[in-house]
Amino acid sequence: MKIAIVCYPTFGGSGVVATELGLELARRGHEIHFITYRQPVRLATLNPNIHYHEVHVPEYPLFHYQPYELALSSKLVDMVKLHGIELLHVHYAIPHAYAGYMAKKMLKEQGIKIPMVTTLHGTDITLVGNHPFYKPAVSFSINHSDVVTSVSQDLKDATYRLFDIKREIFVIPNFIEVSQDKLAGNPCKRSMMAPDNQKIITHISNFREVKRIPDVIKIFNGIQKKIPARLMMVGDGPEKAAAEKQVEDLGLSDKVVFFGNSHEINEILCFSDLFLLPSETESFGLAALEAMAVGVPVISTNAGGLPEVNRDGYSGYMGNVGDTDDMAAKAISILSDEVKLAEFKQNALKVAQEFDIQKVIPLYEQIYRRALKQQ
Ligand code: GMT
């Protein structure tokens, strides 16, 4: 199939899911066209089946807001015609489903029928899309997609609860490559980060409010009072400066490392003993799955779709949003017992195997066939 993938070119979340999906589809022989405003972070274009088309938005002084949707829908029309693309797969409803719908309409007028699959990722429904200023456009573009998928059952339920959706939503969970040698043969450099007697705790996110970064630090503070430990904070975003200040105020500066955005996620996870994700909400929690795939247990909240990924008392533990004392106590219970820690590490890996990329990609291929048949 010739498929256009529209996504955000971000370090984590929907951008990574869309990129890894496209790369695997290309390996399976499909022709994949990424269409976005910057080359996606994990995109390697050295594959004859991978194409990347950049959306340019010309600056004009009249525009207070540059019209990205317009440029994207025009680019979609041009690329579909030029490359004979058969299907649009848009990730994140805002504004991608809206732009995709406009492209479909324009193409139809020119005698080209093309289906659109929309994948809902989370904040496009729960935090942003739900805002009254966006809601009518988001409902409209979901209802006018040919097939709609969501990354968890919880997100599917939330979409039906928050919007007036008349279409069936198919749950296709996020996925991970479990089998691959994630360090490409290189040894894990644990000794570089901490002496053997210290445990390494890791958090990876975009440092937005929803991630509850102050809670990450509070949980770590509780842990380090009982167990020698270091905290690796990976990622960047609006809450990072405040987090650095909080670490300083608590006198933890020599125990916390801020990495910023990193291309070496697996290299960091390989030496991690525990992953923290105390989010306010999380449709899925891809970062937790990435940790589990390297055998790192997870302490998370029980919000949103997290219970579909992290199994309480098995691959880690969950706590209520904001209950940092409880999450710290649960972290200590794993980290203070080497046998239990080894068990949880193995369990985390086992759960990650349920989300193996080889099991999940065929579900998307099925969805594409369904969308094409519906035309
Ligand atoms: O987590 C974010 O803020 C980024 C956001 C995105 O769309 O890039 O992540 C959402 O999509 C991810 C991939 O499907 C999910 O794993 C995240 O749980 C989800 N984030 C939220 O729901 C807050």
CA torsion 114-83-47-183 (nearest 10°) is: -30
Q: What is the pLDDT of residue 188?
A: 85
Determine the Cα–Cα distance for residues 28 and 22; give it in Å rounded to an integer.
10
Lowest mean pLDDT of 23-32, 174-183, 363-372, name the range.
Answer: 174-183
Does ligand 1 come within 6 angstroms of the Cβ of 272? no
Give residue 12's pLDDT: 80
pLDDT in tens, 345-354: 999 999 999 9
pLDDT at 185 over 90: no
Q: Atom 7 in ligand 1: which residue has the minimum CA distance?
A: 14
Query: How much is the pTM?
Result: 0.94
Q: What is the ipTM of this complex?
A: 0.96
Residue 330, helix vs strand vs coil: helix
Q: Which CATH class is domain 190-353?
A: alpha beta
Domains 2-175+357-374 and 190-353 share a fold: yes
With the most atoms of ligand 1 within 8 angstroms of its CB, the residue from 239, 283, 289 to mutate is 283
What distances in angstroms separate CA 6 from CA 30, 43, 53, 102, one per listed residue?
16, 13, 10, 14
Q: How far away, in angstroms, is 209 Cα from ligand 1 center?
A: 13
Mean per-residue pLDDT over the chain, rounded: 95
Single out the residue of 277, 151, 274 nearest to residue 206, CA to CA: 277
Could you tell me the pLDDT band of residue 43, with boundaries at 50, 70 and 90? confident
- The answer, yes or no, to whether residue 180 has pLDDT greater than 90, is no
pLDDT, mean of residues 70-82: 98
Q: Whose CA is nearest to atom 4 of ligand 1?
A: 13
CA dist 151 → 147, 176, 241, 371 (Å):
14, 13, 31, 18
CA atoms of 259 and 84, how far apart (whole Å) = 42
CATH assignment, 2-175+357-374: 3.40.50.2000
278 is written with which tokens?
A: 């105390």
pLDDT recorded at residue 263: 87
The mean-pLDDT minimum among 44-53, 279-288, 310-319 falls in: 44-53
User: Per-domain residue ranges for the chain?
Assistant: 2-175+357-374, 190-353
